[in-house]
Amino acid sequence: MPTASKITRYLAFDPQLNPLYRDYTIGPGKLGGKARGFLFAKQILRQSNDPLFNRIIVPKTYYIATGVFADFVAQNQLERIVESGRDYDQIKDAFINGAFDRAIRSQLAQLIGDFSSPLAIRSSSLLEDNLRYSFAGKYETIFMANKGSQAERQAKLEQAIKLVFASIYCPNAVEYRRKHGLRGDKMAVMIQQLTGKQRGVFFYPEISGVAFSKNYRRWTNEVRKEDGILRLVFGLGTRCVGREYARTFSLTDLSLRPEGYAPWSVAKYSQERFDVLDLAADQVQVININQHPDAAKYHPYFSHYTQLYNTENEQITDLNSKGLYQLSPADKIVFTFQQFPQLHPEFFQLVNTLVNTLEKELGLPVDIEFAYEPEEKLLTLVQMRPLPSYEEYRAVQIPANLRPETILLCGNRMLATGILLGIKRLVYVDPYLYKQATNKAAVAREIERINRSLEGEQYILVGPGRWGSTKAELGVPISYNQISNAGLIVELGIKAANFVPELPYGTRFFHDLEVDGILYLSVFDNIPGNVFYSDWLNSQAGMAEPTGHPAVSVYTGLFNVYLDGERRIGCVTAHC
């Protein structure tokens, strides 16, 4: 249970009252929720006597307080532009064309002179990372190479700050605040030394991750809630919090895999692409390791994270048993992190101790973002925040007398806990029609239109693969504001069409589901105990309301949802 006195201490924590941080702050006002969590964690680490924490780095960070944002908006009359109904691109242009006053520019000139490495310019609004709403991923983070003359670097920094300011008005954030009845926000900014190393023309950390002190969405009875969970990726952490592939570890048992152990499944769920900061282009680039295997030369421990998957015989072998230059056309490199727990036990001990210590001091479960360099065995803490949802969910009793012909969907792998009764609409994206669609973004726009039309009415959303994916071939690339009224989202695993759901824990997408109480269920057509009653959907075609895209149908009837996360069984029934 949360510890009230410690929560109060966290909420009362004001880093601006600490003289250690005053010299690193520009402007009056507050530093925002993200900065508070980061500095609270920094203070705990400074006060701790645990020798393990000598291997934790807190990156150099400066702060721009909310008063600078308020003055910038007022001096450049940006409120008028926002209220005029301009779209987000026009709002961003207006912010970029705005000007800071001379005193702020002078302070920014001093600030940029104190950094020689690449930078991350992060949002830290007043509403971010509070106890109820995380706003994870709603606002902007900008990476910059920090190359060139002093004037060029300052100009890039100023533009990055303006873009973070403007993200207050991005559609996702606006919809999030509207749905939760939150008034306007104010933005502070963190200017942080980017963690990583230069590797060729790229800059990135070897490993990035997110970790949680509690695991409220367990995919097997072997997993304990109390032990926590983490997600790891190779490269920048941008890929870790999105809906692409990452290695998920339960700290109960590091050998457990949510996707199972079949070689094809492990390969399917394993990362091949990783994010880097291109120092020449000054932007984030996506690298596929199978197109650039020479990247391995910068990583002495490369074989600790990677394996080879042979697509012909569907076998996985260790990379160190076969040289990179002896690959067959059927081989591909995948970041399975299979050997990582055995070869780097100190990493898991450090992360486990860190999240447990932070939870104890905060009085609430926490999640952290970090980067790690295995050669030096150094972990860089990038962010700490309270988990936005930490309550236990009441038990759900699935009716024993459900008639099989009424069960439309049933899953036993990854699900939340909850009941929805008497839902009138089910929105369905046909997996095969979606796969054939040449413009998959048009499907997302149609879902957005339907979501708006169902304002105030919960509905069930069913579709192939993973909702919110950044790769349209993995699932419909929707964002939060396009599905904000859904009561349940269902991800269909269709093996023949190569659609595979993924445990969303740790992603920004999952934070939104948790905070909004949107239930989640995955259903696989090739796993025993799962039901995908596609014949019902096809036979009921006459019931479907016409939509603006042939892949999308809206069914009207009476639908009930029973999700028992404790026993790991969830059903959607149809009564039409």
Angle at 146 between CA 142 and CA 151, to 5 degrees: 110
Of the candidates 545, 543, 538, the residue with the CA atom closest to the CA atom of residue 576: 543
Burial (Cβ within 10 Å: 0-12, 13-18, ≥19) of residue 392 = exposed
Cβ atoms within 10 Å of 571's Cβ, excluding its own? 23
Sheet with 56-57: list strands edge to edge. 56-57, 378-386, 366-373, 207-212, 229-234, 247-250
Burial (Cβ within 10 Å: 0-12, 13-18, ≥19) of residue 107 = middle
Bigger pLDDT: 414 vs 74 = 74
Give 61's strand partners: 192
Among 28-32, 154-158, 266-270, which stretch is predicted with the lowest mean pLDDT? 266-270
Mean pLDDT, residues 100-123: 96
- The predicted structure's pLDDT at residue 448: 94
Element housing 308 (H / E): strand 306-310
Q: Which residues, including other chains, have CB under 8 Å from residue 530's CB and lie 6 or more apart?
A: 410, 411, 412, 413, 493, 523, 524
Of the candidates 186, 160, 226, the residue with the CA atom closest to the CA atom of residue 74: 186
- The predicted structure's pLDDT at residue 390: 47
pTM: 0.81
Q: Tens of pLDDT along 104-115?
A: 999 999 999 999
Distance CA 239, CA 205 (A): 12
Question: CA distances (Å), 505 to each of 66, 372, 548, in order?
Answer: 31, 20, 32
* Type of residue found at 385: R
- The predicted structure's pLDDT at residue 258: 77
Distance CA 527, CA 493 (A): 9
Using the 8-state DSSP alphabet, how is residue 415 labeled?
Answer: B
Mean pLDDT, residues 253-270: 85
Reply yes or no on whether the pLDDT at 142 is more than 80.
Answer: yes
* Type of residue found at 108: L
- The predicted structure's pLDDT at residue 218: 67
- The predicted structure's pLDDT at residue 51: 93
Cβ atoms within 10 Å of 298's Cβ, excluding its own? 14
Q: Tens of pLDDT along 159-182?
A: 999 999 999 999 888 888 887 788
Mean pLDDT, residues 445-462: 94
pLDDT tier at 364, thresholds 50, 70, 90: confident
Q: Assign 3-state DSSP to the chain and report helix, strand, coil percentages, each to 5.
A: 35, 25, 35
- The predicted structure's pLDDT at residue 462: 97
Q: Report the relative pairing of strands 273-278 and 247-250 from DSSP bridges.
A: unpaired
Among 44-53, 162-171, 370-379, 463-472, which stretch is predicted with the lowest mean pLDDT? 463-472
For 393, the token pair is: 């969910």
Mean pLDDT, residues 271-281: 95
* Type of residue found at 169: Y
* Contact between residue 34 and residue 383 where contact means Cβ atoms under 8 Å apart: yes
Mean pLDDT, residues 464-481: 87
What are the backbone dihedrals phi and psi of residue 314, each rounded to the nearest 5 degrees, phi first?
Answer: 50, 50
- The predicted structure's pLDDT at residue 1: 47
Q: Tens of pLDDT along 290-329?
A: 999 999 999 999 999 999 999 988 899 988 655 666 678 8
- The predicted structure's pLDDT at residue 300: 93
Among 6-15, 46-55, 397-406, which stretch is predicted with the lowest mean pLDDT? 6-15
pLDDT tier at 259, thresholds 50, 70, 90: confident
Q: Tens of pLDDT along 499-539?
A: 888 765 556 666 667 667 788 899 999 888 899 999 888 88
pLDDT tier at 183, thresholds 50, 70, 90: confident
Assign 207 to helix, strand or coil: strand
Question: CA distances (Å), 148 to each of 200, 276, 283, 335, in order?
Answer: 18, 19, 14, 35
Among 21-35, 335-349, 432-446, 469-483, which stretch is predicted with the lowest mean pLDDT? 469-483
Handedness of CA 15, 21, 26, 32 (dihedral sign): negative
- The predicted structure's pLDDT at residue 420: 93
Q: Tens of pLDDT along 201-256?
A: 999 999 999 999 987 766 677 788 788 889 999 999 988 776 568 898 988 899 98
For 455, the token pair is: 């304002």
Q: Which residues, including other chains, have CB under 8 Å from residue 18's CB and lie 6 or more apart?
A: 39, 43
- The predicted structure's pLDDT at residue 23: 85
For 53, the token pair is: 């924490």
pLDDT tier at 100, thresholds 50, 70, 90: very high
Q: Tens of pLDDT along 188-199?
A: 999 999 999 999
Residue the block writes with tokens 């400066």: 62
Give 569's strand partners: 564
pLDDT tier at 393, thresholds 50, 70, 90: low
Residue the block writes with tokens 């048009």: 442
Reply yes or no on whether the pLDDT at 439 is more than 80.
Answer: yes
Of the candidates 212, 517, 222, the residue with the CA atom closest to the CA atom of residue 393: 517
For 533, the token pair is: 């009653």
Mean pLDDT of the chain: 88
- The predicted structure's pLDDT at residue 345: 95
* Contact between residue 141 and residue 283 where contact means Cβ atoms under 8 Å apart: no
* Contact between residue 442 and residue 476 where contact means Cβ atoms under 8 Å apart: no
